[in-house]
Structure 1
Amino acid sequence: MINNDVMRSIRYMLDLSDNKIVEITQLVDPEFPIDRADVPAYLKKEEEPGFIPCSDRVLAHFLDGLVIHYRGKDESLPQRPVEDRITNNVVLKKLRVAFQLKDVDMHQIFEDAGFPVSKPELSALFRQPGHKNYRPCGDQMLRNFLKGLTLRFRGNS
């Protein structure tokens, strides 16, 4: 899925302002260069004028910032390095951690979106890429997860 689509979905789901997106993105590294003026361009669709592609680095900082925003920062542990490459599986993992979702919650979110996922399918998404049972998360699956998560946060409105 395109990084801009992920950021746009999360912004809508959580009703975040541009300033809040910048604030969350900089929770990981206050020196991270994200300009508030770029945020609206990240949230535009590809065909819209002024669209700027959201880099993996920006999305990684934003997702890690969401984890810190919702769970807090554990000062006793060293800071994890920010991913260089963001895949749909990484987005799922970060959102799962940020919102403290258990397997039963994940199944319910997919179910609410009309996209039921079996237990083995779900666990395969969270395996390491080299594992024999690893399964890459497709765009449709991530879109349905974001849709179900939005329903959880915003209701059916």
Structure 2
Amino acid sequence: MALNNNDILARLRYALDIKDAAMVEIFELGGVETTRQEVRDMLAKAKDDQDYDSQESEYVREIDNQTLESFLNGLVTQKRGKQEGQSENTPNQFLISANHRNKNNILLKKLKIALSLTGEDMMEILHEAGVDLSKNELSAVLRKEGHRNYKECGDRYARNFLKGLALRYRE
């Protein structure tokens, strides 16, 4: 089952125990005006009695890559503060490509920054979720797209990283 943007947002919210008001604040820090109800709609699965067999989760309000990345940028700002030289009106540079291929890589990079995690911390979080990753594999996932050693991060690693975060931060 593919990990969509709403799934990522819901798993992050659970793992980091973020309340609705804080979600609205984080979105605002990332440059997206939203309300508590809109956040709830992003996290609420649509009630579709027609198709119980569907593997894909459908949400009341689907979010796009830009909205997800705005949330991640806001999370970085909330946890680490504003960057030096960044003004209120500086537009965020969006890194997630249109083809979604690097979404999980950007997710891991932004969470690493926001939560002040080291490579060792990230490997421990993955290990807690039952995934063992070498230092070189993690380094390849965290590299800039286009680098000769860059490796695309699959949904399995992203899903397990979010699961590991929940295990670490919720217990």
TM range (shorter): 0.7 to 0.9
Moved more, 112-121 or 82-91: 82-91
- Deviations, residues 30-85 of structure 1 (Å, cap 9, x unaligned): xx33232211121123x535621111121111111111111111333565723163
Secondary structure, aligned partner of 1:26: helix
Corresponding position of 2:127: 111
Residues 1:128 and 2:144 aligned together: yes
Give SS of 1:114's match.
coil
Runs of 4+ off more than 3 Å: 47-50, 75-80
Tell me which of 44, 49, 74 is aligned to 1:65.
Answer: 74
CA distance in 2, matches of 1:20, 1:61: 14
Which residue of structure 2 lines up, in the alignment, with residue 44 of structure 1?
44
Contact 1:56/1:84, CA 8 A, preserved across alignment: no
Q: How many pairs align?
A: 152
Question: What is the identity percentage for the equivalent residue pairs of Structure 1 and Structure 2?
Answer: 41
Please tell me the root mean square deviation across aligned C-alpha atoms, in Å: 1.9
Structure 1 unaligned runs (5+)? Answer: none
2:158 to 120, 135, 142: 142
Does the 8 A contact of 2:72 with 2:107 survive in 1? Answer: yes
**Letter of the aligned partner of 1:125 in structure 2?**
V
Q: Secondary structure at the match of 1:124?
A: helix
Per-residue CA deviation, residues 85-135 of structure 1 (Å, 9 max, x unaligned), is 361100000000000000110111111111010111100001121112111
Residues 138, 25 of structure 1: CA spacing in aligned structure 2 closer, same or farther, 3 A cutoff?
Answer: same
User: Which of 54, 68, 82 lines up with 2:93 in the alignment?
Assistant: 82
TM-score for both structures, normalised by structure 2: 0.81
For residue 9 of structure 2, give the secondary structure of its aligned residue in structure 1.
helix
For 2:55, the equivalent position in structure 1 comes to: none
TM-score by length of structure 1 reads 0.88
* AA matched with 1:34: T
> Deviation of residue 10 (structure 1)?
0.9
